[in-house]
């Protein structure tokens, strides 16, 4: 039974899945719009929302946590540019738009972008 199993496994072991999420978060912060599968986009959304909320606090501790989670370059961008951009917004920083299925394996595709 899968009671209280909220996260998707995405067909990967934990270490690889965590690396994938870190890579997707980095790409989303740097490019502000990425195309990925629908399941990966839905799994990424809560992490990014929490990171942006953390960046809005603008403390030393929050900056260090951001750098640990997405890397120094993306952490700095979150703490400076994106925190100012979303300063008055109370959540809902991302948008997921569905796309047609991928040709090779017919998986659901989506674009996740910062609003």
76-84's contacts with Cβ under 8 Å and 24+ in sequence apart are 77/29, 77/30, 78/29, 78/51, 78/52, 79/55, 82/29, 82/52, 82/55, 82/114, 83/52, 83/55, 83/56, 83/58
Does residue 5 belong to any structural domain of this protein?
A: no
Please count the structural domains in the chain. Answer: 1
Does residue 88 belong to any structural domain of this protein?
A: yes
Does residue 18 belong to any structural domain of this protein?
A: yes
CATH number of the domain encompassing residue 89: 3.90.1030.10
Q: Average model confidence (pLDDT) for the chain?
A: 94
Q: What is the pLDDT of residues 46-79, one digit of tens each?
A: 999 999 999 999 999 999 999 999 999 999 999 9
pLDDT at 1 over 80: no
Question: What is the mean predicted confidence (pLDDT) over 90-113?
Answer: 96
pLDDT at 5 over 90: no
Does residue 101 belong to any structural domain of this protein?
A: yes
pLDDT at 4 over 90: no
- Identify the domain containing residue 88 by its residue range: 14-114
Does residue 65 belong to any structural domain of this protein?
A: yes
């Amino acid at each position: 039974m899968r009671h209280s199993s909220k996260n998707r496994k995405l067909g990967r072991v934990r270490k690889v899945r965590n690396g994938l999420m870190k890579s997707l978060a980095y790409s989303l912060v740097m490019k502000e719009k990425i195309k990925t599968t629908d399941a990966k986009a839905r799994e990424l959304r809560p992490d990014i929302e929490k990171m942006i909320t953390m960046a809005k606090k603008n403390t030393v501790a929050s900056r260090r946590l951001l750098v640990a989670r997405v890397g120094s370059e993306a952490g700095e961008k979150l703490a400076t540019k994106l925190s100012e951009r979303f300063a008055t917004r109370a959540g809902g920083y991302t948008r997921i738009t569905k796309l047609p299925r991928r040709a090779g394996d017919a998986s659901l595709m989506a674009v996740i972008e910062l609003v």
